[in-house]
């Protein structure tokens, strides 16, 4: 995971509480070795606003009942005016890149929490009289991991996105933060950008990154299996209105077989970039267990033949029936036989190395 620099701001007018929250931030930063964090402290609305106006802040903890300085108002006017913390949240939401925010307050009115969630996009709301230190720390972790995931998503580093997003969700659960409270659903972004719209499997970009990170320049990377479905284009052409259903059927059979393979990495994805008129290929990373690999391949072939056979009555008994059947080609690479210095060599070898049948 790449080294990250973050700025965390604690806004609390009680000096004791401010010191406590700041220390909890330091504890989290000490635990997350990949983050170099700067902790800022503000004890008033004006101090906080000045920091936010002049510096970039990634995370903010706000006392929602924070007093704000209004020298031109009477005590009565101040009493009925908007709480300083709420006004601060309103201000930061109007910026281009608002920091991720959580609220801690001695106020017990639920209306404050509702307004903060709905109007200002906070991650969590904690009450001082029911304060849980571990939840507070987990909320900070969730925010920092989320920021990592969002940055990696922009750089299209899918492996790093998934790692950080998974950690963000785990911390969020411990902090009682719901996934919907994050500014953007990284999981949905991953699904849209890096998975096939019909099968839901990792698309070619994701698979290539997996190959690049796991195989290129690595030793003892294990085994990778390539499966190609031949005859797909003709089969789909015959049942043009069912092309998505046929692809789903093929992948469904493949997933069932894949689940029975010895596999600690749990990866299966599309290889290359194709439309429905071409012949789809897939990459699987199983453990190096040859007997089970062959057994899985044979099961897949048998299952696919059985399922696609259900379409044949619609064709009728014709001489072309056999030509319309799908066939399976398998190819395999092992780290004991191959080493690669670039992705091009991996892809080129996958296209020319045939699995030797037992």
- Residue where the block lists tokens 């936010």: 52
Q: Which of 50-59, 134-143, 282-291 has the lowest mean pLDDT?
A: 282-291
The CA-CA-CA angle for residues 244, 250, 252, to 5°, reads 95
225 beta partners: 284, 332
Mind listing the pLDDT tens digit for each residue in 144-162?
A: 999 999 999 988 889 899 9
The pTM score is 0.79
Give the residue among 189, 207, 304 at the shortest CA–CA distance from 256: 304
What is the arithmetic mean of pLDDT over 341-346? 91
Mind listing the pLDDT tens digit for each residue in 9-37?
A: 999 999 999 999 999 999 999 999 899 99
- Superfamily for domain range 4-194: Response regulator (3.40.50.2300)
Query: Any residues with CB less than 8 A from the CB of 234 and at least 6 apart, and which?
Result: 323, 324
- Decide which of 229 and 112 is more confident: 229
Instruction: Please report, for the chain, the start and end positions of each structural domain, with discontinuous segments joined by +.
Output: 4-194, 204-350
- Superfamily for domain range 204-350: Reverse transcriptase/Diguanylate cyclase domain (3.30.70.270)
- Number of H helices and number of E strands within the chain? 14, 9
Q: For residue 319, count CB atoms less than 10 angstroms from its CB and return exposed for 0-12, middle for 13-18, buried for 19 or more.
A: exposed
What pLDDT score was predicted for residue 240?
61
Q: For residue 273, count CB atoms less than 10 angstroms from its CB and return exposed for 0-12, middle for 13-18, buried for 19 or more.
A: exposed
Q: For residue 64, count CB atoms less than 10 angstroms from its CB and return exposed for 0-12, middle for 13-18, buried for 19 or more.
A: buried
Q: What single string gives the DSSP state of each residue in 108-168? A: --HHHHHHHHHHH--SEEEEGGG--HHHHHHHHHHHHHHHHHHHHHHTT-HHHHHHHHHHH
| DSSP reduced 3-state for 333 | strand
Same fold, 4-194 and 204-350: no
- Length of the chain, please? 358
What is the arithmetic mean of pLDDT over 166-189? 94
Q: How far apart are the first and last CA of the chain?
A: 41
Cα–Cα dist 193/156, whole Å: 9
């Amino acid at each position: 995971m790449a080294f990250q620099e973050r700025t965390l701001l604690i806004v609390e007018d009680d000096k004791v509480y401010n010191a406590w929250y700041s220390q909890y931030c330091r504890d989290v930063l000490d635990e997350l070795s990949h983050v170099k964090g700067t902790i800022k402290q503000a004890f008033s609305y004006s101090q906080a606003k000045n920091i936010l106006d002049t510096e970039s802040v990634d995370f903010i903890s706000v006392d929602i009942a924070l007093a704000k300085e209004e020298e031109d108002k009477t005590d009565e006017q101040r009493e009925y005016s908007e709480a300083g913390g709420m006004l601060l949240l309103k201000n930061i939401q109007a910026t281009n890149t608002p920091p991720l925010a959580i609220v801690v307050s001695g106020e017990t009115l639920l209306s404050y929490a509702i307004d903060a969630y709905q109007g200002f996009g906070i991650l969590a709301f904690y009450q001082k009289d029911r304060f849980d230190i571990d939840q507070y720390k987990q909320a900070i972790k969730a925010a920092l991991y989320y920021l990592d995931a969002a940055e990696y998503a922009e750089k299209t580093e899918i492996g790093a996105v998934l790692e950080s997003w998974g950690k963000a969700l785990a911390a969020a659960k411990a902090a009682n933060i719901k996934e919907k409270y994050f500014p953007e659903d990284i999981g949905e972004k991953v699904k849209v950008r890096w998975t096939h719209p019909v099968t839901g499997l990792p698309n070619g970009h994701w698979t290539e990154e997996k190959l690049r990170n796991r195989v290129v320049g690595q030793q003892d990377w294990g085994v990778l299996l390539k499966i190609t479905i031949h005859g797909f284009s003709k089969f789909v052409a015959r049942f043009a209105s069912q092309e998505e259903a046929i692809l789903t059927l093929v992948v469904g059979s493949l997933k069932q077989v894949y689940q029975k393979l010895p596999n600690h990495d749990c990866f299966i994805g599309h290889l290359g970039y194709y439309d429905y008129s071409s012949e789809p290929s897939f990459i699987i990373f199983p453990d190096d267990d040859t007997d089970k690999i062959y057994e899985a391949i044979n099961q897949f072939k048998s299952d696919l033949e059985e399922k696609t056979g259900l379409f044949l009555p619609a064709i009728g008994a014709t001489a072309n029936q056999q030509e319309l059947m799908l066939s399976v080609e398998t190819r395999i690479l092992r780290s004991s036989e191959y080493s690669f210095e670039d992705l091009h060599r991996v892809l080129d070898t996958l296209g020319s190395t045939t699995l030797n049948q037992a």
